[in-house]
Amino acid sequence: MKLKYNLRISSAKVKSYIFFLCHLNKERFRCAVCNYKGPFEDVAPPTGTRKHAKCPQCNALERHRIQYLVVNKILNNVDTSSSKMLHFAPESFFRDFFSKRFGQYETADISMQDVDHRVDLQELPFKSESYDFIFASHVLEHISNDRKAISEIRRILKPNGIAILPVPIVSVKTIEYPKPNPNETYHVRAPGLDYFDRFDSLFTKVEKFNSNSFPAEYQLFIYENRTQWPTTKCPLRPRMKGEKHIDIVPVCYA
């Protein structure tokens, strides 16, 4: 088992080194998650190409890097060995990170098979004030009644608990869709810079970190040409100026 693990890590490093050699002229960055140093990969989802997005060694994207930095910042020197965490739609490499950090770590999703709880975020079966820390990244833009989901998250959060609830910011003002868009992995809205106002009435404090909150070497911006929106695949995403956009991570305190 140990040999297999080492081979997997070695393969990732070899892949990133080959990518590095093939892109010597590209701008170089550092991955906050795995500490890789070099150029990042471009990605091309249906919504359009994003430059400098993915770490070639651990596959962390822009949102993963900034979320990793935020979590480490707010939990710095905090003893979480007896804290209970709930992780919605758990990302694979964050599973390992969180499970080592928290004394009790649980996962949840409405459709994923390998989670502890198969639940609908709009109707959670948990008792009130059950968790110290909740993490749900890029989840709320998939939920029709997101205000109910946010209320449920607040309900199960213990006093002085923390919820980190980022969504992709792709508009100035939030646009609600009449139905889920399959080209946006079934998003039901285009969250805007105003989206986190929905948290203000429920949480004691909402602290917002953005791409400018940490050193530029980590490359936490979304390099995406949004002047081409709307498109046939994203008909309700409004046009935005520029090709470099901030990401935002809201930290919600009970």
pLDDT along the chain (254 residues), means of 10: 49 62 77 96 94 96 98 95 97 92 97 96 98 98 98 98 98 97 97 97 97 98 96 96 96 98
By residue range, what is the domain housing residue 206?
2-253
Measure the CA–CA gap between 214 and 26, rounded to whole angstroms: 21
Tokens encoding 209: 């970190």
Query: How far is the CA of 199 from the CAs of 64, 117, 166, 230, in angstroms?
Result: 21, 24, 11, 28
Helix, strand, or coil (residue 97): helix
Q: Name the nearest CA neighbour of 190 among 135, 152, 239.
A: 239
CATH number of the domain that residue 185 is part of: 3.40.50.150
Instruction: Give the other-Cβ count within 10 Å of 202's Cβ.
Output: 17
Q: What's residue 4's pLDDT?
A: 47
Q: What's residue 92's pLDDT?
A: 87
Measure the CA–CA gap between 184 and 233, rounded to whole angstroms: 8
122, 216 Cβ separation under 8 angstroms: no
Tokens encoding 212: 């400018």
Output the DSSP codes for 19-86. Answer: HHHHTTTS--EE-TTT--EEPPEEE--TT--EEEEE-TTT---HHHHHHHHHHHHHTTT---TT-EEE
Query: How far is the CA of 120 from the CAs of 88, 144, 148, 182, 220, in angstroms?
Result: 10, 11, 11, 20, 30
Residue 216 dihedral angles phi and psi, to the nearest 5°:
-65, -20
Q: What is the DSSP letter of 87?
A: E
Q: What's residue 22's pLDDT?
A: 60
Q: What's residue 3's pLDDT?
A: 43
34, 55 Cβ separation under 8 angstroms: yes
- Give the count of domains, the chain: 1
